[in-house]
A = this chain, B = another copy of it.
């Protein structure tokens, strides 16, 4: 077997390469060293060892591995019945669009929650780091949830839309009898983010919005944002609807709730063949918002719970499914949703040593 080994040492000089034939013995085919460009070396040194920020990330990575393993244990499902874990981890950075960096165009993402720790503490093979493989293939690393939506909700005759109302709201459009490439997914605009900022921690059942009055002038002005009429694919920055947005617009809870409902309706309205809109995410708990959606949308409005998928657990289910795909050597991204050049087998596999070693 011909195997390549790559390392850059702690002296941060450059990349050492060895190509080795391994079988009965070990035969070195080629070796070389490629120095780092000076600006890359400087960037590495600027984030290396002594930097406390890097220490926090490294320690958090291992700590979250423990917490994730413990969270699984707390479900009470016997670990020995579980064959595989898909762990998304905690995103601490995501930049789906390339930026200029050390003379190149680089898109990047970073999730922490060390999978080797999860595998060790549970004895179960663990797949992690799902987004980088899509980005390596030119995708934005998001959204990944359309893959689950497509598996769960595609229908030979009904055109459906899966709507997730998290901080940002997004939809997965699944035409009747859709092939993977027919699926479209994009952010519709604010989800709970503006509502939560105006009525913290959140407007239970939407009662405050129901009792309030929509500022029609403000709403009209906000809906004029060209984003809502732009062709997909498109995505919102989370910063767009943060505290600054609330301060600048002086928006109230009734208007914020209607902004979410109306921007969703604008997006869904692009697909008049849609017969069902299947809602998940925290917004599905907001009774008033759900009523507004039922009024504004032509299609039937229901929740993912009607399909056996709790509205709060769709993403965790997604990473179980993506791990299953990877473990079977099958891709897990939808290029039509992420913009990747091709389907990709997502994630990295950490072996659960303990069980394998019989310990």
Contacts and interface: CB of A to CB of B under 8 A. Distances in A.
A146 to B, nearest CB: 15
A32 interface: yes
Interface in A58-82: 58-68, 70-72, 74-77, 81-82
A317 B6 CA distance: 8
Which one of A3, A33, A95 has the highest number of Cβ atoms from chain B below 10 Å of its Cβ? A3
Given A18-B316, A313-B31, A329-B356, A61 B108 contact: yes
What does DSSP make chain A's interface, helix, strand, loop or mixed?
A: mixed
B345 A348 contact: no
Interface in A91-107: 91-95, 99, 101-102, 104, 106-107
A54 B349 CA distance: 24
A134 to B, nearest CB: 8
Contact of A348 (B4, B110, B129, B167): B129
Q: Which of A19, A87, A91 has the most CB of B within 10 A?
A: A19
Given A19-B82, A31-B313, A34-B70, 6 more contacts: A1-B83, A4-B320, A5-B315, A9-B315, A48-B91, A120-B136
30 contacts: A1-B83, A4-B82, A4-B84, A5-B85, A5-B87, A5-B316, A5-B319, A6-B86, A7-B315, A7-B316, A8-B88, A15-B71, A26-B317, A44-B92, A47-B56, A51-B93, A54-B57, A58-B93, A58-B109, A58-B110, A59-B102, A60-B101, A61-B110, A62-B132, A115-B348, A117-B136, A128-B348, A133-B353, A348-B349, A348-B350
Interface of A: 1-12, 14-20, 22, 26-34, 36, 40, 43-44, 46-49, 51, 53-68, 70-72, 74-77, 81-95, 99, 101-102, 104, 106-110, 113-121, 124, 128-129, 132-133, 135-137, 151-152, 166-167, 238, 308-310, 312-313, 315-324, 326-327, 329, 331, 342-345, 347-351, 353-354, 356-357, 359
